[in-house]
Amino acid sequence: MGMTALWRTARLTTLLVLAATPGLMRSPLLASGQAASLTDARKLLEGLWSLESFEVRTPGKPPIVLKGQGLLTYDNFGNLHMEVRADPAAAELLRAAGIVIDKGVISTDGKAILDVPNHTLTYFLEGQPKSGGGPLAANRKRYYELKGDTLTLTTRDDKGAPMSIAVWRRAH
């Protein structure tokens, strides 16, 4: 599927979710009870985020804690760019865990569809199939929690256990 068709599908999916979910436009965003519309939620996520911590959990192995740096950018249309640079030791462990990493860099571009009631982001990433494995696979929803200037994105396995936890701080 070409990127134009993928973006059309993503936009259509957004419209279908909006149309099929009563009250979506006035659903809660934050666990603290703060209410926000979809537009408000997008505005809260907009901007440049700097990676504070990144951990990947694989069954039967100790967590992989990244010693590196990263930037995440969301714009007002839901477009995203993420780049995470890992130290060489972590890069090999991440690759073994099923994460696509090239020369120590995890880099993705695409679209994030926001589901406010469920606190999730669904990624449509350029050059990556929607299905696949690994803790950062595009078919895994990102569960988000936003507290002040801290954004936590978590992927979960089929039983709901965290597979990856990335903590980002809004860059000023």
DSSP-assigned states of every residue in 88-154: HHHHHHHHHTT---BTTEEEEEEEEEEETTTTEEEEEETTS-SS--STT-TTSPEEEEEETTEEEEE
Q: For residue 102, give its domain range.
A: 3-170
pLDDT in tens, 6-43: 334 434 333 333 333 333 333 334 444 444 688 888 88
Which CATH number does the domain housing residue 114 bear?
2.40.128.50
Q: Could you tell me the pTM of the whole model?
A: 0.76
Q: How many domains does the chain have?
A: 1
**Chain segment 122-149, per-residue pLDDT in tens:** 988 776 655 456 888 888 899 999 999 9
